[in-house]
Amino acid sequence: MSNAPIAAPDEVQISERDATYLRQAIQLSRTARERGNRPFGAVIVAPDGEVLVEAWNRNGETGDCTAHAETNAVRMASPRYPREVLAAATLYSSGEPCVMCAGAIFWSSIGRVVYGIDAVRLRVFRGERQEQRDAELFCRDVFDASPHPIECIGPALIDEAAEPHQGGWKV
């Protein structure tokens, strides 16, 4: 296994529809930061465009280390909507879902994920502080192990998704 740094993935182009909801998740990441949390937001959207839930990272507010935006969104959506509805939905995330959030997405049966800034670029903001580091596993690794398909699109709108992270992490 090489110790060479992993290159950041190229930005992908997304549809206007996807850009609209991804920007909504990015706006929620700003809300999270304004409230003293790490800047992440998520939106789950049905195929007809109905926003099922919106969430942001709340670990600063709650002290709950698992209160990530995507996991919060799944926690809100799972009791409200049957698996068939979630399987047809898209989760938009301002940042690439971490391993825990990817697992929550898998368990919820959400069938599609679109994310902003990728984990490689996020690590630059996180720095080397132990409590800010992540498990260096990508959401696609989790999704690829799923017995049901989970379409994953990203990174997209990288500069917009990165903006709330500027100066938002301890160095």
Q: Reply yes or no on whether 160 is catalytic.
A: no
Which stretch of 2-11, 53-62, 106-115 has the lowest confidence by average pLDDT?
Answer: 2-11
Handedness of CA 30, 166, 68, 155 (dihedral sign): positive
pLDDT for the residue 58: 97
Q: Give me the catalytic one of 11, 54, 70, 151.
A: 70
Return the structure tokens found at 7.
Answer: 């290159």
pLDDT for the residue 48: 97
At residue 167 the predicted structure's pLDDT band, cuts being 50, 70 and 90, is confident
Handedness of CA 40, 141, 87, 62 (dihedral sign): negative
Number of continuous H segments (helices) and E segments (strands) in the chain:
8, 5
> Does the pLDDT at position 40 exceed 60?
yes
At residue 170 the predicted structure's pLDDT band, cuts being 50, 70 and 90, is low
> Does the pLDDT at position 90 exceed 70?
yes
How far apart are alpha carbons 73 and 89 in whole angstroms? 12
> Does the pLDDT at position 127 exceed 90?
no
pLDDT for the residue 123: 77
> Does the pLDDT at position 72 exceed 70?
yes
At residue 1 the predicted structure's pLDDT band, cuts being 50, 70 and 90, is very low
pLDDT for the residue 7: 78
User: Any idea what DSSP says for residue 165?
Assistant: G
* Residues β-bridged to residue 62: none
Between 6 and 4, residue with greater pLDDT: 6
Q: Provide the edge-to-edge strand list for the sheet that holds 112-117.
A: 51-56, 41-45, 90-95, 112-117, 151-153
At residue 44 the predicted structure's pLDDT band, cuts being 50, 70 and 90, is very high
